Amino acid sequence: MQWAEWKAKLLKRMSGLIQNGSKLAKSAATRTNAYLRTHKKQTLSIAAGLLLTTTIGLSAYGYYTSNVITLYHVSVDGQEIGVVNSPDVVNNWLKAKLAEEEDKHGLNLKLSNYITFTEEKVFKGTYDNAAAIEKLADVAGVQVEAVKLVVDGKVVGYAADRESAEEALAKVKEKFSGIPALRGKQAMVAAASMPLAAPEKVKEVTFKEDVKLESDSVAAAQVLPVDELEVLLSKGTLKTVTHTVVPGDCIGCIAQKYGITSKDIYANNPGITEDTVLQLGQKINVTALRPLVTVQVKEEVSQKEAIPFTTQIKNNDKLPKGETRVVQAGRDGSKLVSYEVIKENGQVVNRRVLNQQVLVQPVAKIVERGTKVIPSRGTGRFTWPARGRISSGFGMRWGKLHKGIDIAGSGTIRAADNGRVVFAGWDGDYGKCILIDHGNGMKTRYGHLSSISVKVGQVVEQGKAIGVMGSTGDSTGVHLHFEVIKGGQVQNPLRFLN
């Protein structure tokens, strides 16, 4: 039989006994009066019987009431966990437990469960305070009143209070924007969606994501200090993962193993670059940094920039085709440009021109391009290739043929007639040398030059500057060795010079 059933039957039986005893006493009194009137002799006997009956009823009632006690059934979230003789047993334990946890964590705590008491008067009831408290300690959860950070609808962490949460957010903004964050009471103003105070060029510092702060109750262990919360938000993790280099490792291999990129490794390990040779046993930070929030900075930047000059080409029919001449040098201008720059976690993601002001106008470069067609066939009559005196003529010299004439002097060497350059470079004893084919069976050679200003394949006009007189090759002084070749045979140049 269940305790509740037994208790109910007992109460009914005792109540009936008391009621019967009362009725019996009244009936006895009535009968006694009748007997006294009609049977006086039996008065003593009836009185004794009445007294006995009344005593029995009153004794039963007193026994019941003296053994009825008040008990309290304790329930946690609707489930009974035990019976105590007073709610103070549970309340005093809760008070001591919360005080202990608050001393340990320094936070405002509360019980996460809902505790109720059901009062009941029970005849000879039993209770076990110790068992109830032991069971309560197993099921009751102590939680802290905290503030949760919600990023785009997802809970990412807990702070002790709103001020601590906002300080952590301010530190993240400071880390990625480089702008000093507000502290103390000022930090309360720097809410998750509000810009921080910053230099004039910074227009706004916000989180790209939807960041909310909401009150909640959680286990004390889930609440993070400000610094740890800032690390979690800016790195995406509180745990640092380290890899020890083994034979066969490479940056790419290690990155692939941990599901990160080589750039992550370079960012985590400032001393490691693409050219770094890994050493056995070397420790490498392979933590995959994935910030939980994106700090978006909008700033206005003004900078001076160059305006590149343009080049204008003009035709010159007096200038040989293929030649150019600069008649006006170009010069860059300058301008002051204002940009709206958007950065996300320190990286520029967008740049928009707000306005620009020209400071100095650029000067165009003007180039004349020759259009005059120069025939590659010579006239057959040569002009002097250089100014100076003839220091050595054509003919036998020192036991061998001197194939041309030497013109001593200095300055520019010019083409003796129209023609095409067929050689331009170093030619043994001639030193720096040019050979021009005039297209009419005639060729001219220019030797011992100090510099050459034409190239093979170029068509030159009579009188065109082709180099500078020098003393390269087998030469005893600055001069031009000039040859005339006709039909493959050297000729005396003086026969052809005007």
Output the DSSP codes for 233-291. HHHS-SPPPEEE--TT--HHHHHHHHT--HHHHHHH-TT--TTPPP-TT-EEE------
- In angstroms, rounded to a whole number, what is the distance separating the alpha carbons of residues 117 and 119? 6
- Residue with structure tokens 């939807």? 210
Tokens of 52: 């006995």
Q: Cβ neighbours of residue 446 under 8 Å, at least 6 residues apart?
A: 385, 413, 433, 434, 435, 436, 466, 467, 480, 481, 482
Name every residue whose Cβ is closer than 8 Å to that of residue 108 and which is 6 or more positions away in sequence: 102, 144, 145
Q: Which of 448, 383, 371, 457 is nearest to 414 (CA)?
A: 383
What's the pLDDT score for residue 38? 54
In the prediction, which pLDDT does 54 show?
Answer: 52
Q: What is the pLDDT of residue 393?
A: 93
Q: Does pTM surpass 0.85?
A: no
The confidence score (pLDDT) of residue 194 equals 41
Give the pLDDT confidence score for residue 214 in this predicted structure: 93
Residue 409 CB partners (closer than 8 Å, separation 6+): 386, 387, 388, 389, 469, 478, 479, 480
Domain 388-495 coded CATH 3.40.50.970: no
CATH number for the region 242-285 comes to 3.10.350.10
- pLDDT score for 382: 94
Pairing, β 365-372 against β 311-320: parallel
pLDDT number for residue 192: 44
pLDDT at site 126: 87
Tokens of 36: 């006294």
Task: Report phi then psi at 427, rounded to 5.
Answer: -140, 75
Q: What is the pLDDT of residue 177?
A: 84
**Residues 226 and 146: beta-carbon distance below 8 Å:** no
pLDDT at 386: 95
Angle, CA of 72, 77 and 80, to the nearest 5°: 40
Residue-wise DSSP of 72-125: EEEEETTEEEEEES-HHHHHHHHHHHHHHHHHHH-S-EEESS-EEEEEEEEET-
Structure tokens that stand for 19 in this block: 């009621």
Q: What confidence score (pLDDT) does residue 198 get?
A: 40
Distance CA 56, CA 236 (A): 82
CATH code for the part of the protein at 298-372: 2.20.230.10
Report CA 72 to chain centroid distance, whole Å.
Answer: 59
In residues, how long is the chain? Answer: 498
CB 222 within 8 A of CB 238: no
Which are the contacts of 241, defined by CB distance < 8 A and separation ≥ 6? 258, 285, 286, 287, 288
Per-block mean pLDDT, blocks of 10 residues, the chain (498 long): 49 50 50 52 50 57 74 88 89 81 63 79 86 80 83 91 93 85 45 43 89 87 88 81 91 88 87 88 86 90 93 91 89 94 88 93 95 87 94 90 94 95 96 96 96 94 95 94 95 91
- Is there a common fold for 242-285 and 298-372? no
8 A C-beta contact, residue 333 and residue 357: no
pLDDT at 77 (0 to 100): 80
Tell me the C-alpha distance between 330 and 342, whole Å.
35
Domain ranges of the chain: 3-66, 70-140, 146-235, 242-285, 298-372, 388-495
The answer to whether residues 380 and 417 touch, using CB atoms and an 8 Å cutoff, is yes
The first and second tokens of residue 135, run together, are 């069971």
Task: State which H helix or E strand residue 328 sits in.
Answer: strand 324-328
Coil, helix or strand for 298? strand
Using alpha carbons, list the distances in angstroms from residue 152 to 149, 204, 212, 217, 395.
10, 20, 8, 20, 99
Between the alpha carbon of residue 455 and those of residues 168, 458, 460, 468, the distances in Å are 71, 6, 10, 14
CA angle (129, 135, 138) in 5-degree steps: 145
What angle, rounded to 10 degrees, do the helices at 43-66 and 3-38 form?
Answer: 160
What's the Cα-to-Cα distance from 92 to each of 95, 106, 129, rounded to whole Å? 5, 20, 12
